[in-house]
Amino acid sequence: MSSVIIPVDPFDLVIFGATGDLTRRKLLPGLYQRDRAGQLPPDARVIGAARTEMASRAWRVEAEKALQEFVPKEDLDPEAVKRFLGRLDYIRVDAAAETGWSSLARHLEGREGLVRAFYLAVGPAFFGSIAEKLKAHGLVTEKARLIVEKPLGHDLASAHALNDQLRAAFPESGIYRIDHYLGKETVQNLMALRFANALFEPLWNAQYVDHVQITVAETVGLEGRGGYYDQSGAMRDMVQNHLLQLLCLTAMEPPAVFDADGVRDEKLKVLRSLAPITAGNAHEVTARGQYGGRRGEKKSYLEDLGLQASNTETFVAIKAEIRNWRWSGTPFYLRTGKRLRARSSEIAVIFRHPPHMIFPHLAQGLRRNALVMRLQPDEGVTLRVTVKEPGPGGMRLREAALDMTFADALNGVRMPDAYERLVLDVIRGDQTLFMRGDEVEAAWAWIDPILAAWSGWTEPPAVYDPDGRGPEDALRLIHQDGRRWREIEP
């Protein structure tokens, strides 16, 4: 099997925050890989913008260091590196002042007919002001696109205000709200599995699906993000965007046409169908925790943060109900946390037992069939089924996994990083994998009452051991329904 490379039209990509971590780790390596694959046309340019005083030559030196650090050695082709670095320019621009905007305008002059994308790899406090300055300096052309990344607001009110600010400078069709989880191969394969095959879609409903588990587990702690994270917590940092997007793609109805608005209309319907969680039921259907420490080995959240007390959650578990005909009675269990036993992200669709078991004496202890889509660390799809155990001596049943790990199944085809796909989708003008403004607001409308309920709790988040499965409350949340969490495995 070989991948198909479809070149894009010439473009100018301006990266605000050109000296930041996201640019070094993801954007420059991702663009290099697309250039190495032959997907970038000769006339494509990448322009770095930041407050730091720096010449273009110096930024190219820093970009080469980033490639050396974050691109696999076998992918570093000297000719490809030279070609890519030749695309790079740098303009000093102060997002909070007037410095550099006229220089940026001159650098883009004469290329108004090309796609022009502005990636805001900066703090969310600058999103609105940069959009306004781009508009004020005449940089928003007919083919201009604005790329912003979470957090998109702190609550519903701030998200609504941000959307208004962005839409005052760019049309909604020119705003690309990026969620890198949606660029993962497995997430897109979820839609292919459902809508391009006759096998799963007839079973994809409450009649056949017992429940769904969506897990995003991390082994790391704060990693220098303490200031941001303590104001955010796992609910705002992970659930409001990543986990709810995965839930929407799992639960949505088939769109009439596979295009941006068709897909996003169906995701919006799911968000609006979520049963409210308020102070009246939050104790029964949510759990929150905060990682502790281990003497001499790992620091607790408070030690990482350098504070004596904090009610910020580093773990969240939620039992979500979707009130529509397809999913009524089938719960969606969501969980995410830091400092857990393994780094693992997956969507597990757990099917019901057969309506009548003709092997009752053989089936004890067997688990339900499950379709598991792994997002990380190894992207792939596993279908767990019940089969006869090989060998003579009668009928014996056991579980077997039909496993497709993409790295193995695609026979050496390189799996592109999510940012590679998403940035090129922006250039193409394809918004299918990007969030629309009303989606963001609908997600906050569901999240805000949960956060309000938690703010009224007198008990702090439950402390859980590092390298474990999370707090006991999370186990209680699913055990009370007669179900069990899947093991968190690497």
Residue 58 phi/psi, 5-degree rounding, is -65, -40
Assess whether 356 carries a catalytic annotation: no
State the catalytic residue, choosing from 242, 283, 361, 479: 242
> Are 331 and 258 contacting, i.e. CB atoms less than 8 angstroms apart?
no
Q: What is the DSSP letter of 260?
A: H
- Cα-based torsion angle of the residue sequence 334, 232, 176, 102 in order, rounded to the nearest 10 degrees: -170
Q: What is the DSSP letter of 484?
A: -
Integer-rounded Cα Rg, in Å, for the chain is 24
Strands 370-376, 175-178: pairing kind: unpaired
295 CB-near residues (< 8 Å, 6+ apart)? none
> Are 413 and 1 contacting, i.e. CB atoms less than 8 angstroms apart?
yes
20: three-class secondary structure by DSSP? coil
Q: What is the DSSP letter of 298?
A: B
- Cα-based torsion angle of the residue sequence 448, 449, 455, 457 in order, rounded to the nearest 10 degrees: -150
Rounded to an integer, what distance in angstroms lies between the CA atom of residue 245 and that of residue 121?
21
Residues carrying an active site annotation: 242
